[in-house]
Amino acid sequence: MTGKISSWKRRLLYTDAVPDDRSRMRAVANNLILHLHPTKVPAPALRWTYTWGLGGLSALLAVMLVATGVLLMFRYDASVERAYTSIQWLETQVALGSLIRALHHWSANLLVITAFLHLLRVFFTGGFKEGRSTNWAIGLILLLVVVAFNFTGYLLPWDQLAFWAITVGTSLLTYIPVVGEALTNFLLAGPEVGQGALRNFYAIHVAVLPAVLIALLSYHFWKVRKDGGISQPKLGPRERVERLTTIPHLVRIELAAAAALIAGLLLFAIFVPAPLEALADPTHPPNPAKAAWYFLGLQELLLHMHPLAAMVLAGALLLAAFFLPRWDREEGDVGIYFRSRTGRIAALIGLLLSGAFVPLLVVLDEYWLDLPSSLPEWPALVTNGLFPLLLTLGGLALIYAFLRMGLRANRSEATVGLFTFVATSLILLTLTGIFFRGPNMALVAPFLT
Amino acid sequence: MTATPTIPPAGGDTGADNLNRRNFLKLGMGALGALVALEIGGASLFFLQPRSLSGEFGRIVSAGPADSFPPGSVTEFPDGRFFLVRAADGGFLAVYRRCTHLGCSVEWEANENRFFCPCHASSFDLHGHVENPPAPRALDTFPIQVKEGQILVNTGEGQTRDGFSPSQLVYA
């Protein structure tokens, strides 16, 4: 058991092996990095433009959030009387308090974006194929966990933004059939957002969700390796692909990306502190009262249809995402962005259709279309719920049918077009909610006024 | 050792239907495990069950003498979370301020003669009846009792309704 005296780095990354055992297996088993990554990776998998590093950046953001979150817990009081003042204290009196909070806030917001983009990347390269369907489902659950994290964290500062976003958000949950009422009662622990809700949200935010996240994220990483690394194009019978050692090739890239992200976040957090509005006032909602920005797509949908219809639509799309690997079983096109030339055209069609129809429908519904008033003898659930829902689902079916027959796309390529349409629509609705909704939720031109 | 011939030897199970010792123990373990899970789940649910804290919203509020509210008036009770409406014919209605759409607080706009929700622009008339969607139903109400000329509003029991009907009015 003698050996050279290890440097601290060696001791951190390796377990000292018995000197006479030089087997490769030992070297791998004793290395921390090679517990996470394979020893060698295909050279094309290292291309920046294939993964955009989105999964790794999301994981790094999760680590940043845990680190800053633990610090914040030392300075935060989860009580209605003291929550807001503890944040004010943090912002003005605690050394570097404003910076830590800004880092936490902006990392959380950025994580929603990188996790969503990671989903897009995996979808467009067919990363859910070839036995990766389980990890696709885990990834979708992780995205929901990220949103739940953001939603529960949103309430904690107890300012106007927090109070009303959570009021609107939890009211939305009551429209979920069967369980909605019970779920809202459980979350709020009372008839409205108050001390019970704050305590529940805090416990869920700092204990329940981190436990779920760590378990699922570990599984997500492990599964990537067991599924044979990230998805790559299939090789022809004679083709060979160069394989590079993980150390240093992959690790170097990861370190550079991590350093760039941390530097960027730090700079941003220094110049843009996390927002804090006036103390929550249950009698007076701000006008307009908006949910957190990542829910504004859903909130925009709510302006156009009955909440039950909006929930059914969102639920149906989410369910479709889970069952996607069962629907799209074409395996020849894995690892290729947009599957094929036809797939690229389908995606472009989806993008353009969404870009044309979503703004048009939003404006039409705002100024001209008013089914509930023109058909007063029909119940609102039909005119404002069933009709818009059927219109949307029918539209999606039409687009799919057109791509299959008009473009002669196969199932996989047509799904790319449909997915692009849905994703673009979600982004457009979110942008509308963020920028184009003013007082009384009326449409406004943000850059003119 | 007097083994009865009906019990096959342990470990020699040939089918899942055979209830030998091993299967019996497995079944027993499974049943016990399910029972434990049920108990823990039930205990957690009881532990987490929401209950209104005393002193919070949800009690009987005394609004004052009935004569102090002129017909056609709307008076806000911020702590009770309701508006006391006195209709033109003198009937009372306690309207919960929570918008039935997504839970924002409505405001009484006296010059427009309507309740207005700034979140999604729903509006309601004096009786809480929907004038402008997206609100799916009329504003909820609280039961009113009149005792010795005093108006008592029970904010612990919200009542939902689709629309307004004159039978909802309470007279002093």
Supply φ then ψ for residue A41, to 5 degrees.
-130, 150
Alpha-carbon distance of B156 to B168, in angstroms, equals: 18
Q: Concatenated DSSP letters for A96-155?
A: THHHHHHHHHHHHHHHHHHHHHHHHHHHHTTTT-TT-HHHHHHHHHHHHHHHHHHHHHHH
- Same-domain status, B150 and B71: yes
What does DSSP assign to residue A386?
A: I
Q: How many helices (H) and strands (E) does chain A have?
A: 20, 2
| pLDDT confidence of residue A206 | 96
- Same-domain status, A23 and A132: no
Name the helix (H) or strand (E) containing B83. Answer: strand B82-86
| pLDDT confidence of residue A21 | 57
B120–A171: do the CB atoms touch at under 8 Å? no
Confidence class for position B151, pLDDT limits 50, 70, 90: confident
Amino acid at A307: P
Percent of chain B with pLDDT over 70: 84
Residue B7 belongs to a domain: no
Residue B106 has pLDDT above 70, yes or no: yes
A441–B136: do the CB atoms touch at under 8 Å? no
- Same-domain status, A240 and A311: no
Q: How many CB atoms lie within 10 A of CB A190?
A: 19
CA–CA distances in Å: residue A387 to residues A316, A317, A377:
16, 17, 15
Question: Is residue A421 exposed (0-12), middle (13-18) or buried (19+ Cβ within 10 Å)?
Answer: buried
Alpha-carbon distance of B99 to B124, in angstroms, equals: 9
Total domains, chain B: 2
Q: How many CB atoms lie within 10 A of CB A280?
A: 23
- Same-domain status, A8 and A120: no
- Same-domain status, A326 and A185: no
Mean of the per-residue pLDDT values for chain B? Answer: 80
For residue A153, give how far its alpha carbon lies from the nearest alpha carbon of chain B (Å).
Answer: 20
| pLDDT confidence of residue A128 | 92
Residue B55 has pLDDT above 50, yes or no: no
Residue A291 belongs to a domain: no
- Same-domain status, B65 and B98: yes
Are residues B59 and A191 in contact, defined by beta-carbon separation less than 8 angstroms? no
**Would you tell me which residues 279-308 of chain A have a C-beta closer than 8 angstroms to some C-beta of chain B?**
282-289, 302-303, 306-307
Alpha-carbon distance of A120 to B59, in angstroms, equals: 51
Q: How many CB atoms lie within 10 A of CB A440?
A: 15
Alpha-carbon distance of B92 to B70, in angstroms, equals: 11
Residue B30 belongs to a domain: yes
Residue A111 belongs to a domain: yes
For residue B59, give how far its alpha carbon lies from the nearest alpha carbon of chain A (Å).
Answer: 12
Q: Describe the strand order of the beta sheet including B123-124 as a list of residue ranges.
A: B107-109, B114-116, B123-124, B130-132
What is the chain B residue with the closest CA to A302?
B134
Alpha-carbon distance of A442 to B120, in angstroms, equals: 9
For residue A304, give how far its alpha carbon lies from the nearest alpha carbon of chain B (Å).
Answer: 8
Amino acid at A252: R
Does A23 contact B at CB distance below 8 Å? no
- Same-domain status, A242 and A318: no
What does DSSP assign to residue B104?
A: P
A285–B120: do the CB atoms touch at under 8 Å? no
Return the CATH number at B130.
Answer: 2.102.10.10
Domain that holds residue B35: 20-49
List the one residue out of B27, B31, B60 whose CA is nearest residue B157: B60
- Same-domain status, A21 and A89: no
Are residues B137 and B131 in contact, defined by beta-carbon separation less than 8 angstroms? no
Residue B109 has pLDDT above 80, yes or no: yes
Total domains, chain A: 3
Question: Is residue A21 exposed (0-12), middle (13-18) or buried (19+ Cβ within 10 Å)?
Answer: exposed
Does B114 contact A at CB distance below 8 Å? no
Residue B84 has pLDDT above 80, yes or no: yes
Non-local (6+) Cβ contacts of A217 within 8 A are A59, A62, A142
C-alpha B93: how far from chain center: 20
Residue B106 belongs to a domain: yes
Alpha-carbon distance of B10 to B20, in angstroms, equals: 6
List the structure tokens of B116: 């207005």
Non-local (6+) Cβ contacts of B28 within 8 A are none
What crossing angle do the helices spanning A54-73 and A209-226 adopt, rounded to 10°?
Answer: 160
| pLDDT confidence of residue B54 | 44
Give the dihedral sign, CA A44/A47/A52/A54. positive
Q: How many CB atoms lie within 10 A of CB A46?
A: 17
Q: Name the residue facing B134 among A186, A285, A384 (closest C-beta).
A: A384
B101–A307: do the CB atoms touch at under 8 Å? yes
| pLDDT confidence of residue A1 | 41
pLDDT tens, chain A, 449 aa long? 444 555 777 777 776 655 555 666 666 667 788 878 888 888 888 888 888 989 999 999 999 999 999 999 999 999 999 999 999 999 999 999 999 999 999 999 999 999 999 999 999 999 998 889 999 999 999 999 999 999 999 999 999 989 988 988 888 888 888 888 888 888 888 778 888 899 999 999 999 999 999 999 999 999 998 888 888 888 888 888 888 888 888 889 999 999 999 999 999 999 999 999 889 988 888 877 788 888 889 888 888 888 889 889 999 999 999 999 999 988 888 888 999 999 999 999 999 999 999 999 999 888 887 666 677 777 777 877 888 899 999 999 999 999 999 999 899 999 999 999 999 999 999 999 999 988 877 888 876 65
Residue A114 belongs to a domain: yes
B52–A439: do the CB atoms touch at under 8 Å? no
- Same-domain status, A358 and A268: no
Residue B107 belongs to a domain: yes
- Same-domain status, B76 and B152: yes
Report yes or no for ipTM above 0.90: no
Minimum mean pLDDT range among A386-390, B51-55, B62-66, B69-73: B51-55
CA–CA distances in Å: residue B109 to residues A14, A72, B120:
71, 42, 16
Q: Name the residue facing A189 among B50, B58, B81 (closest C-beta).
A: B50
For residue A283, give how far its alpha carbon lies from the nearest alpha carbon of chain B (Å).
Answer: 6
- Same-domain status, A71 and A148: yes
- Same-domain status, B150 and B115: yes
Q: Which residues pair with B83 in a beta bridge?
A: B76, B95
Q: What is the pTM of this model?
A: 0.86
- Same-domain status, B125 and B42: no
Alpha-carbon distance of A165 to A172, in angstroms, equals: 11
Are residues A345 and A422 in contact, defined by beta-carbon separation less than 8 angstroms? no
- Same-domain status, A69 and A123: yes
Amino acid at A89: W
- Same-domain status, A86 and A215: yes
List the one residue out of A269, A297, A306 whose CA is nearest residue A386: A306
List the one residue out of A397, A414, A400, A402 whose CA is nearest residue A333: A414
| pLDDT confidence of residue A324 | 93
Non-local (6+) Cβ contacts of A31 within 8 A are A13, A14
- Same-domain status, A236 and A259: yes
- Same-domain status, B115 and B161: yes
